[in-house]
């Protein structure tokens, strides 16, 4: 190893593996990174079991098991700079939706009552114990750089890594997904919420104007807005905008329902109710973070319980 190379460790916690795959999505730019970086530990590339000292540590996934907690603490001890990489690491991620259920319900569903993986027993020692909550990593260790996205787009990964390698501060951007969306918001006479399975959307007009729920306006752009530009509503996988995160009375449901009500003839209460009924979808990615969970308007467990009881 060349002595001037920056040492990099990566580790995955509770996640889908997609964030590690996204590192490979740098394509030829990965060669620029490898010129400057020595990858010491990376679950998809190396067989390093320990935690060697490193300048940069990338953590993907959130903390849900004893392994996750141990790994995050060891990475923090050994790495000078820790990057919370991906929406799971930053906000808890998609599996934050598990917070709508107790640990016992989850174990029961996975090991006893799943039609595809029925084992008839809950393993006591073979798998790591499940913690009670899904925890974003900065509630356990100090984080130096946040890079949300599910996974983050290669553009932002390269930008962040390059800044760290060069010793400069990464650019902070606060644009929402709407900023990169080519659709036009305009007032319509739409009176009902539509479902993408039942109706075809116009390619040029904002989904909200057409009656389809889209979270682009409350979602931070860490993806270059691919979904609305390819005919799919944004579900908020990169996590909320800074406005939603930092302003206590701003809430995803209220912001989207009021904007959509202004753009259509659908009453905002109807839109709010619809979002509450699909709360597991519309809030899943950031449900585990206290920044969302502590909001006074945020009653997700109540909404989900109401839907599941009906």
183 binds ligand SF4 (CB under 6 A): yes
9 binds ligand SF4 (CB under 6 A): no
Q: In this chain, which residue has its C-beta nearest to ligand SF4?
A: 216
The answer to whether the beta carbons of residues 278 and 308 sit under 8 Å apart is no
Judged by CB under 6 A, which stretch of 16-24, 64-72, 126-134, 268-276 contacts ligand SF4?
16-24
Binding positions for ligand SF4, 217-246, rule CB under 6 A: 217, 219, 223, 225-228, 234-238
CB atoms within 10 A of CB 103: 14
Q: How far is the CB of 4 from ligand SF4 (least distance, A)?
A: 31
Q: How far is the CB of 219 from ligand SF4 (least distance, A)?
A: 5
With b for 16 or more beta-carbon neighbours within 10 A and e for fewer, the 155-192 pattern comes to: ebbbbbbeebbeeeebeeeeebbbeebebebeebebee
37-41/63-65 β-pairing: unpaired
Instruction: Measure Cα distances from 266 to 203, 217, 275 in Å.
Output: 21, 18, 13
CB closer to ligand SF4, 140 vs 185: 185
Q: How far is the CB of 269 from ligand SF4 (least distance, A)?
A: 20
Question: How far is 59 from 141, CA to CA, in rounded Å?
Answer: 11
The one among 185, 270, 291, 299 contacting ligand SF4 by CB under 6 A? 185
Which parts of 140-238 are beta strand (E)?
A: 145-147
The one among 9, 10, 87, 135 contacting ligand SF4 by CB under 6 A? 87
Instruction: Measure Cα distances from 165 to 173, 281, 300 in Å.
Output: 19, 37, 41
Binding site for ligand SF4 (CB under 6 A): 15-16, 18-19, 60-61, 86-88, 93-94, 150-151, 177-178, 181, 183, 185, 206-208, 214, 216-217, 219, 223, 225-228, 234-238
């Amino acid at each position: 190893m060349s002595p001037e190379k920056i040492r990099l460790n990566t580790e995955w916690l509770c996640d889908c593996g997609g964030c590690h795959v996204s590192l490979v999505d740098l394509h030829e730019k990965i060669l620029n990174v490898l010129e400057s970086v020595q990858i010491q530990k990376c679950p998809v590339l190396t067989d390093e079991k320990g935690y060697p000292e490193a300048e940069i540590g990338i953590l993907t996934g959130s903390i849900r098991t004893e392994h996750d907690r141990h790994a995050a603490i060891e990475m923090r001890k050994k790495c000078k700079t820790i990057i919370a990489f991906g929406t799971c690491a930053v906000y808890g991620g998609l599996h934050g939706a598990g917070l709508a259920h107790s640990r016992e319900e989850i174990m029961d569903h996975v090991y006893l009552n799943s039609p595809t993986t029925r084992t008839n027993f809950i393993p006591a020692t073979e798998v790591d114990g499940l913690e009670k909550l899904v925890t974003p990593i900065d509630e356990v260790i100090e984080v130096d750089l946040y890079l949300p996205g599910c996974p983050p787009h290669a553009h932002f990964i390269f930008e962040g890594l390059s800044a760290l390698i060069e010793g400069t501060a990464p650019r902070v951007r606060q644009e929402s997904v709407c900023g990169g969306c080519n659709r036009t918001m305009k007032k319509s006479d739409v009176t009902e919420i539509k479902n993408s399975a039942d109706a075809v959307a116009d390619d040029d007009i904002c989904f909200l104007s057409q009656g389809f729920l889209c979270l682009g306006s409350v979602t931070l752009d860490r993806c270059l807005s691919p979904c609305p530009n390819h005919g799919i509503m944004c579900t908020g996988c990169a996590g909320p905008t800074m406005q939603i995160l930092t302003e206590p009375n701003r809430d995803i449901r209220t912001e989207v329902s009021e904007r959509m009500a202004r753009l259509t003839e659908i009453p905002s209460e109807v839109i709010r109710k619809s979002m509450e009924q699909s709360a597991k979808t519309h809030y899943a990615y950031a449900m585990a973070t206290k920044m969302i969970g502590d909001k006074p308007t945020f009653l997700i467990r109540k909404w989900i319980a109401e839907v599941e009881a009906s």
